Structure 1
Amino acid sequence: MHRLFVGIRPPPAVLDALIDVQDGIEGARWQSEEQLHLTLRFVGEVERPVANELAEALADLAAPPFTLEVAGTGHFERKGRPHAVWAHVRPNPSLDVLHSRVERACQQVGLPRETRRYVPHVTLARLSGGSGPIHGWLASTGTLRVPAWPVTDFVLYESHLGKAGSIYDPVVTYPLGATDTSAVPVSRTGR
């Protein structure tokens, strides 16, 4: 089984700015620099044939390059309790197009339609019942602004769950503005 998701990796300057705000919530599990990304579509666990079909379907996806910008922070709740804090990614019609085309590629290979509303963000920390309050952090980071950056590709990642958190391995990188990336089948060794 392969646990997959499709995402965009911000460049080093954006990652540095996001790392700089990762402090101030007691008990938060801050994401490492290697874990920071903007999810386009969480796929979940799939068998190798479906993973390979998805890699090929994403290779056929055409979308132009565009720019993204982080603007502010927020949080997600589960059962009335915060479970993650994140950096908000400003809405962008080109991102919406890419997101919908990735969703279509997922459905083409038989994956169920994503029913949750898409909220572009970069998860900064995961929270548990033992985590401290987030209101002070949200107030101090609410005006976070990171200069816009060019998005020239997106990535199919494989996620490996570990004791210290998930490890995200890029499987295939797809350049934007192209339609054929000669997708590499998902056949990793040593895992």
Structure 2
Amino acid sequence: MTINTHFFFALVLPDDIKAYLNAVTEQLKQDFPFKKWLHPADYHITMAFLGNAPDTLKEDALRRIENELANEGSFGLELGDIGGFGKSESPRILWAGVKQQERLFAIQRKVYNSCIEAGFELDKKPFKPHITLARKFGGDSPFSLESVRQIANLEDKQFEAVQVALYQTHLGASPSYEKIFTINLQK
């Protein structure tokens, strides 16, 4: 176990959606100075953040999640709106959302509960599915989410959710996240 790393379970996004979101962020970069724009390979939807996790707990969680998702089928999702976390004039996170889909919430609950049963102490905030695009707004004038939405319209972009993965973070690297184990949903 590396001290300076952390792990999380996430829904894997298809490459075409990552490319689409990257094209959107390329349009936004010129007008919205965030300090860090994520590498397109790093786009995902976090389901459970584990932190710096001991191997025994990770292995237990993996076994439980594999068991829970063994009969789960793939399902459709659709990109939603763009939003921000933090102060409206200076957000810490710019994200792309997905439209409400109960299957996503059901899968996330199975992943989350499996991690709790394995012994992890997880964040208790409600699940807000999102894809982080950028971090730490650094502009001189206040940020305008309305201006972002005028440039980036994510409507009608659908995709199939087919995989959940355990990721490891490599701080300072780009891309920063490495899939270390994947669980395929039934097709």
Task: With the length of structure 2 as denominator, give the TM-score of the two structures.
Answer: 0.84
Q: 2:14 aligns with which of 1, 11, 16?
A: 11
Q: 2:165 aligns with which of 155, 172, 178?
A: 155
Find the counterpart in structure 2 of residue 60 from structure 1: 67
Name stretches of at least 5 consecutive residues in structure 1 with no aligned partner: 179-191
What value does the CA root-mean-square deviation take over the aligned residues? 2.3
| 3-state SS of 2:119 partner | coil
| Mapped partners of 1:82, 1:131: distance in 2 | 10
- Between the two proteins, what is the percent identity of the paired residues? 23
| Mapped partners of 1:3, 1:81: distance in 2 | 26
Q: Which moved more, 1:67-76 or 1:48-57?
A: 48-57
Matched, 1:35 2:42: yes
Name stretches of at least 5 consecutive residues in structure 2 with no aligned partner: none
Q: Is the 8 A contact 1:35 1:167 kept in 2?
A: yes
Task: With the length of structure 1 as denominator, give the TM-score of the two structures.
Answer: 0.82
Deviation at 1:79, TM superposition (A): 10
| Mapped partners of 1:107, 1:126: distance in 2 | 28
| 3-state SS of 2:48 partner | strand
Q: Is the 8 A contact 2:79 2:154 kept in 1?
A: yes
| Mapped partners of 1:124, 1:141: distance in 2 | 15
Q: 2:54 aligns with which of 43, 47, 60?
A: 47
| 3-state SS of 1:25 partner | coil
Instruction: Supply the AA of the counterpart residue of 2:180.
Output: V
Greater helix proportion = 2
Deviations for 1:167-189, whole angstroms, at most 9, x for unmatched residues? Answer: 211111101139xxxxxxxxxxx
